[in-house]
Amino acid sequence: MVADQLARTGRRVTPGGTGRGQAAADWIGTAARVGLAVVWGWAGYAKIGDPEAAAQAVRAYRLLPEALVKPFGYGLPFLEMALALLLLVGLGTRIAAMVSGLLLVVYIGSIASVWARGISIDCGCFGGGGAVSASKTAYLQEILRDLGFLLVAAWLIRRPRSRLSLDGLLAAP
């Protein structure tokens, strides 16, 4: 049956899927991939120009020893920009989504940690960061936002195939 569909349409079809359903899922994957790339690009770009502020944002969480604050603060924007580029062009999509998911779990855990410890900070997720008054915190919204991004990453881990990607061009026919 699957072989018959492939022979008739020239499209790769998996058992239980239809060509039209797969095409829609491929476009959903494209939107997920590009959307997550925009998020990482925005986050990295906002921090890359001011590495000292990025390090200060990392320091505000009070989770790392001081010797690791600068390497993390200076390095995270480059990691975010690399993920943005890989996802945008669709190269190593599943791996980039897995790294994205791991990074988002770390971010969610870090935000939950400062919230539970009663520390009032701006997350620094899109630049800035550091101590703020308690009325300026938005921990629940930040966690929910990152959970949404985590769902997008999970989609790409489960189904990395998408349109307009280098992964698709490099795949064997």
Q: How high is the pLDDT of residue 9?
A: 42
Q: Is 51 contained in some domain?
A: yes
Q: How high is the pLDDT of residue 22?
A: 81
Q: Which domain holds residue 121?
A: 34-161
The more confidently predicted of residues 20 and 120 is 120
Query: Tens of pLDDT along 3-19?
Result: 444 444 444 544 445 57
Based on C-alpha coordinates, what's the Rg of the chain?
19
Q: Is 6 contained in some domain?
A: no
Residue 83 has pLDDT above 70, yes or no: yes
The more confidently predicted of residues 164 and 61 is 61
Q: Rounded mean pLDDT of 54-70?
A: 96
Average pLDDT in the chain: 88
Q: Is 26 contained in some domain?
A: no
Q: Is 38 contained in some domain?
A: yes
Q: What residues have CB less than 8 Å from 160, skipping those under 6 apart?
A: 29, 93, 94, 97, 167
Q: Is 46 contained in some domain?
A: yes
Q: Is 11 contained in some domain?
A: no
Q: How many domains does the chain have?
A: 1
> 11: number of CA atoms within 13 Å, CB side?
13
**pTM of structure:** 0.83
Q: Is 84 contained in some domain?
A: yes
Query: Tens of pLDDT along 85-117?
Result: 999 999 999 999 999 999 999 999 999 999 999
Q: Is 166 contained in some domain?
A: no
